[in-house]
Structure 1
Amino acid sequence: METQIIELDGPAIERRLAALSQILIESVADGAAISFMAPVSDDDAAMFWLRDVRPEVQAGRRVVFGAERGGETVGTVQLLTAMPPNQPHRCEIAKMIVHPGARRLGIGRALMNRAIERARELGKTLVTLDTRTGDVAEPLYASVGFEVAGMIPDFAFDPDGQARHATTYMFRRIQGQGQDL
């Protein structure tokens, strides 16, 4: 079964709202450290996509990709492109989420590669992200060219609220069409 990565505009987010919300809800329930506390309600997940993400996409400040497999949306990643005036060359990866039932199938890698390519298309030369230190996603990010910039201890609570975890900041330099630095 092939994975297809598509860019989601405002109407596409609305059409896939139930699937995007389920990916978020089930990932947080599975322990994903993506800024939410467990449990995430259906309403809170929908509001995140409709109130927080969709307006940013429609304003051109964020690009959202969805991963589709077998006709179902199973993953997503966001590329934040609106940076401060002194950082027009940079963008940031956010909310790289793959449904727990669709992990270990290359979906995260496909999402990350498409986001990096889109950053290149936008003329960006630096992509940053942060991830829970030691998270299963950290080796994925390294495998697509991200390097560790540093760690901050006690950065955020785990989704169950029981412990705080460190976060690792990572970066990847990119260059024009077909060439990495």
Structure 2
Amino acid sequence: MASSVPASTLDVRRATSVSDAEIEALADVLIDCVDGGASVSFMLPMTRDKALAFWRSVADGVARGERVLLLAEDAQGIVGTVQVILAQPENQPHRADVAKMLVHRRARRQGAGAALMRAAEREALAEGKTLLVLDTADDTAARLYARLGWQAAGTIPRYALLPAGGECATTYFYRSLT
């Protein structure tokens, strides 16, 4: 197993375009998270083809300016990611959704999640967004969001399925950036 890398060696950057190599690395992160039980819209078995197709779609959204893609990298490559979905209905120009905050298991508890979320907030504000919304089925992530100042809006029981099956609740959070 690879050793963990301290957050001080972590770089978070915005991807203005997404290369084939980055799509491959992002697929590795997504597969690791789903294999580890993360309820992030995918069921087991999590195939490489499914992961690659997802990230190609995200790359298309980045190219169209519909979303911001942030990448967390250490000396070994991409270890985490988060998206800010800018494209919203016309009556919600001030709002964005935060989605798919993923951190590879080898890099967890090293500050990557917090660094990604802080960067997401900065990028959203730079894009003119003043209200962010997200949902999570993960209690660990919920604690992180609360520590970062996000407000829980409510929990919906039986909202989704875990990757191996079985229902799970999801909690919605919001954060005002003004």
Question: What TM-score do the two structures reach when normalised by structure 2?
Answer: 0.93
Q: 1:71: how far off? A: 4.3
Mapped to 1, the partners of 2:47 and 2:80 lie a distance apart of 19
Is this contact kept in 2: 1:63–1:80, CA < 8 A? yes
Out of 36, 49, 52, the residue aligned to residue 30 of structure 1 is 36
**One-letter amino acid of the structure 2 residue matched with residue 164 of structure 1:** E
Out of 106, 112, 119, the residue aligned to residue 107 of structure 1 is 112
Q: Which runs of 5+ in 1 are unaligned?
A: 176-181
Aligned to 2:46: 40
Is this contact kept in 2: 1:25–1:39, CA < 8 A? no
- The 3-state SS of whatever aligns with 1:10 is coil
1:101-153 CA-partner distances (Å, limit 9, x unpaired): 11000000000000001111111110000001x52110111111110111111
Mapped to 1, the partners of 2:54 and 2:24 lie a distance apart of 12
1:60-89 CA-partner distances (Å, limit 9, x unpaired): 000000000114110000000110011000
Is this contact kept in 2: 1:61–1:81, CA < 8 A? yes
Q: Which runs of 5+ in 2 are unaligned?
A: 1-5
**One-letter amino acid of the structure 2 residue matched with residue 174 of structure 1:** L
Out of 12, 18, 21, the residue aligned to residue 11 of structure 1 is 18
- The 3-state SS of whatever aligns with 1:11 is coil
- The answer to whether residue 172 in structure 2 is matched with residue 166 in structure 1 is no
Q: 1:15: how far off? A: 2.6
Instruction: Give the CA RMSD over aligned residues.
Output: 1.1
Mapped to 2, the partners of 1:4 and 1:71 lie a distance apart of 11
- The answer to whether residue 141 in structure 2 is matched with residue 156 in structure 1 is no
Aligned length: 171
Structure 1: 4+ residue segments shifted above 2 A: 9-12
